[in-house]
Amino acid sequence: MASPEPTRPGFQLPLLLLAGFRTLIDDLHAELAREGHPDLRPLHGFVLQAVGIDGTTASELGQRLGISKQAAGKTVDRLVAVGYLERVDDPADARRRLVRMTPRGVDGLRRSAEIFDRLRERWAATLGQDRVAAIEDDLSTMAATNWFRLDMPGWFGG
Amino acid sequence: MASPEPTRPGFQLPLLLLAGFRTLIDDLHAELAREGHPDLRPLHGFVLQAVGIDGTTASELGQRLGISKQAAGKTVDRLVAVGYLERVDDPADARRRLVRMTPRGVDGLRRSAEIFDRLRERWAATLGQDRVAAIEDDLSTMAATNWFRLDMPGWFGG
DNA sequence: TTAAGATAGTCAACGTGGTTGACGAAATAG
DNA sequence: CTATTTCGTCAACCACGTTGACTATCTTAA
């Protein structure tokens, strides 16, 4: 049974995974822009997710995202500038500055989650629930390690 | 049949696609480094692919990659510096400077293609040929548009 | 043929995201 | 009380992207 169907060239698979990711993210941000969040960049949603409802610190954020605390701090600066995050002093530890979402940040994150759910439904409507679930299962199997590394620009370029 | 299995939250799908992409690219470059190409960055392989065996110009490269001609020119500069590309004058048009791969560039690209094929085989060995093909088919369906846009850092950040 | 327009490449300035190294201030451990 | 660790920040740097401006060259059309 020597390759009954001619196998696709291997380089297509990463390109397709990237294209899929990009399509979802582009669709997300097109919808977010429509819903009042035109400033949110692809990276920002992930940062908000990593900050979480409870807030965090720049150092911890860096660890969660897989980047340095300095890089995390700069990213927080930008999100503060556009009104999605704020810094507050930690009364219990004068070194720390808590990073937490503003109401606008919470709104953006909530909408992102809703939109992602709708986009997944759209995929399921075209491909079928089972096929989408299969993609998720298979990718979980093959890519379990890289679950939440967000140093995209530096990693890809670098 | 109202959702027989509880549907996964939609935000996981893009994360898994990204993790799959990243896993393949990381594995590729780990192997490339072993085979004598430790300088090649994730972006570079795609640039080499876009340059092709026949070579091209910075402007055309920019169009293929979905970035400006200036950005393409700068990327070419870096690939020239590490020995993967070279520039030659076009005898037929003094404005143009042909960009083409050096033998080292050709070697890197050839090895990349081979490694990607082996990685795909590895996925197929774990998931099954049909599942890998299904992923490719489904992503082709959903993400046909974003086939070869490589302005990753600028797109994701920016 | 010459003037006008389009195209190729480069330079400069800038923004975003990443890195490392150094440092002061504050908490913690001994 | 001192030594160490940790948190945040500053500074310098690199990779990659952008837009705008400019020269040189090719092409087109009056």
pLDDT at residue B30, rounded to an integer: 93
Residue B56's DSSP bridge partners are B99
Separation of alpha carbons B136 and A131, rounded Å: 11
A55: left (phi over 0), alpha (psi -120 to 50) or beta: left
Nearest nt to the A69 alpha carbon by C1': D8
Compute how many other C-beta atoms are within 10 angstroms of the C-beta atom of residue A104: 17
> Encoding tokens for residue A90?
């930690």
Q: What residues in A contact B142, CB-CB < 8 Å? A: 20, 23, 123, 126-127
pLDDT at residue A54, rounded to an integer: 94
Q: Which of A52, A45, A149, A38 is nearest to A100 (CA)?
A: A52
Residue of A3, A5, A8, A11 to mutate, interface with B, max B Cβ within 10 Å:
A11
- Phi, psi angles (nearest 5°) of residue A9: -60, 140
| Predicted confidence (pLDDT) at residue B4 exceeds the cutoff of 60 | no
Separation of alpha carbons A39 and A33, rounded Å: 7
CB contact under 8 A, B43 and A134: no
Residue with tokens 């709708």: A118
DSSP string, B20-40: HHHHHHHHHHHHHHHTT-TT-
CB contact under 8 A, A18 and B14: no
Which pTM value belongs to this model?
Answer: 0.90
The amino acid that residue B104 corresponds to is R
Residue with tokens 């049974």: A1
pLDDT at residue A51, rounded to an integer: 95
The predicted-structure confidence for A65-93, as pLDDT tens digits, reads as follows: 999 999 999 999 999 999 999 999 999 99
Separation of alpha carbons A85 and A100, rounded Å: 6
Distance A118 CA to C11 C1' (A): 46
| Predicted confidence (pLDDT) at residue B3 exceeds the cutoff of 80 | no
Of residues B5 and A31, more confidence is placed in A31
Mean confidence (pLDDT) of chain A: 91
Q: Looking at the partner chain, which of A133, A136, A153 has a beta carbon nearest the beta carbon of B156?
A: A153
Torsion of CA B55, B21, B31, A7, to 10 degrees: -80
Confidence class for position B12, pLDDT limits 50, 70, 90: very high
**Predicted confidence pLDDT, tens digits, chain A (158 residues):** 555 566 789 999 999 999 999 999 999 999 999 999 998 998 899 999 999 999 999 999 999 999 999 999 999 999 999 999 999 999 999 999 999 999 999 999 999 999 999 999 999 999 999 999 999 999 999 997 666 777 887 888 77
The predicted-structure confidence for B90-132, as pLDDT tens digits, reads as follows: 999 999 999 999 999 999 999 999 999 999 999 999 999 999 9
Separation of alpha carbons A53 and A105, rounded Å: 10
